Amino acid sequence: MIAMTVGDVAALTGGHLDGVAPDVQVYGPVVVDSRLCTAGSLFACLPGEQVDGHEFVADAYRRGAVAALSVRAVDGPSIVVDDPVRSLGFLAGGVLRRTSQCTVVGVTGSSGKTSTKDLLAGVLAFAGPTVAPRASLNNEIGLPLTVLGVEESTRYLVLEYSARGVGHIEYLCRIARPAIGVVLNVGTAHLGEFGSREVVAAAKGELVEALPPDGVAVLNVDDPLVSGMRSRTAARVIGFGTSADADVRLDAVQLDPQARPSFRLVTPRGSISVQLQLVGAHHAMNAAATAAVALEIGLGPDEVGEALDSLTAVSAHRMQVGSRADGLLVVDDAYNANPESVRAALDALSTLSKDRAGSSWAVLGEMRELGADGEALHTDVGRHAAELGIDHLVVVGPGADPVAAGAESVASWRGEAIVVAEPEAAVELLRNRLGSDDVVLVKASNALQYWRIAEALLEPIAAERGSGATA
């Protein structure tokens, strides 16, 4: 963070100082978890449904915090504000305005935001110091915390802009207005909250509406709802996708036995050959969007290709492939789930299992927040798994039941669908039946934390756990 005084913090947030002199320096990170405090930190006390941050101010001070951002007086130095969440936004915007050379690159879309953010962060780092979120810090709390990590030397700030409704991205853009905005897709994620894909598009398009006239909108021309956002921005538009009219065109996508895509990007500055180290064909489109941004900020085609070739997975539980000592492959993609991302993960599972002698297993939990279409969308996912020829489906939890019905509706499918009530039952079943040459995918909405299933399967097998024991 750019160093400032608590007086500066009070001025930016509209707060008043309590028990602290205005010239005290804040030179450490701004955090909402007291355990992350270090010397010079500012601790934001966020009231929550289950935990109130004000209860942890003493711990924050012990760890080095110089002040707290609070809604009431606490037993220690603080800046008292009306709303700590909005105050984080005011503070982040003020810090960003103190930078002199930082270009903000924003990413939104129904799926692929975090993977694309990781690619952008890795590629733009070739051009200069880059700051990007850890994991998916992309809402009214996470985005300001990421912004507050910038330094005067930061050249590029890559941000995810998420939305649970119309107006959310507009608010985030008031905190950090992007100069370059990327819209990946408009899908079915969170349909239960938005109501329709058209409303999703209205919300996602707020990103391009916020761009300045000299900014750049990077739009997926293969998605009509995204391509239609051209009329909503004064910025210059660069299109990416597989369509002939794409400025950065994706061509000749192939998957190797590890389901890693290789492809060619045709750009106004020449063609780029890429071999990603990431698992899943869907990453090719994310890479095309990344290349469009990288070329725009001045990297050459060869530099972009080299950077994309070198990057590996960063964020946990996203197509993260682990191998157990006996050879079992476990694909942990349990950070989030929507119909588009589940189909992409199943496609990757099909490729990964193609050249192995064992079976393919898909452990699928509920895709949440799909609204009235939820049952039909779960059924469609099951049909897709069966049409791919996935050998075994393990459907976990009552909300996911239609997945099994969808698979069993495919007359040509010769696999099996097993429904279990809870993740522990899935782990027990899989430990008893998985073979060393099998591949298993775990996929569900993040709130379910089914990544624990993947972690359990990667533990040493029973014989190894018992090795060395004596009678």
State mean pLDDT over 364-369: 93
Judged against a pLDDT cut of 80, whether residue 411 lies above it is answered with yes
List the single range of 143-152, 236-245, 299-308, 458-467 with lowest mean pLDDT: 458-467
pLDDT digits (tens, 9 = 90+) for 95-138: 999 998 999 999 999 999 999 999 999 999 999 999 999 877 88
pTM of the predicted model as reported, rounded to 2 decimal places: 0.90
State mean pLDDT over 241-249: 97
pLDDT given at position 470:
34
Domains in the chain: ranges and CATH: 4-82 (3.40.1390.10), 99-310 (3.40.1190.10), 320-464 (3.90.190.20)
Computed over every residue of the chain, the mean pLDDT equals 94
Judged against a pLDDT cut of 50, whether residue 197 lies above it is answered with yes
Q: How many residues does the chain have?
A: 471
Give the separation between CA 442 and CA 394, rounded to whole angstroms.
9
Could you report how far apart the first and last alpha carbons of the chain are, in Å? 58
pLDDT digits (tens, 9 = 90+) for 215-229: 999 999 999 999 999
pLDDT given at position 189:
75
Per-residue b or e along 140-165, where b marks 16 or more CB atoms closer than 10 Å to that residue's CB: bebbbbbbbbbeeebbbbbbbbbbee
State mean pLDDT over 50-66: 95
DSSP assignment of 379-427: HHHHHHHHHHT-SEEEEESGGGHHHHHHHHT-TT---EEEEESSHHHHH
User: Could you tell me which residue, 462 or 178, shows the higher pLDDT?
Assistant: 178
Judged against a pLDDT cut of 50, whether residue 465 lies above it is answered with no
State mean pLDDT over 385-399: 96
Give the separation between CA 79 and CA 186, rounded to whole angstroms.
40
pLDDT given at position 3:
87
| Cβ pair 341, 367 in contact under 8 A | no
pLDDT given at position 462:
54
pLDDT digits (tens, 9 = 90+) for 75-93: 999 999 999 999 999 999 9
Q: What percent of the chain has pLDDT over 70?
A: 98
State mean pLDDT over 248-266: 96
Q: How confident is the model at residue 308 (pLDDT cuts 50, 70, 90)?
A: very high
pLDDT given at position 461:
66
State mean pLDDT over 354-375: 94
- The identity of residue 125, as a single letter, is A
pLDDT given at position 150:
96
Judged against a pLDDT cut of 80, whether residue 191 lies above it is answered with no
Indicate the Cα dihedral angle 345, 347, 349, 355, nearest 10°.
-160
List the single range of 189-198, 265-274, 280-289 with lowest mean pLDDT: 189-198
Tell which residue, 301, 280, 423, 286, has the closest CA to residue 346: 280
Judged against a pLDDT cut of 70, whether residue 400 lies above it is answered with yes
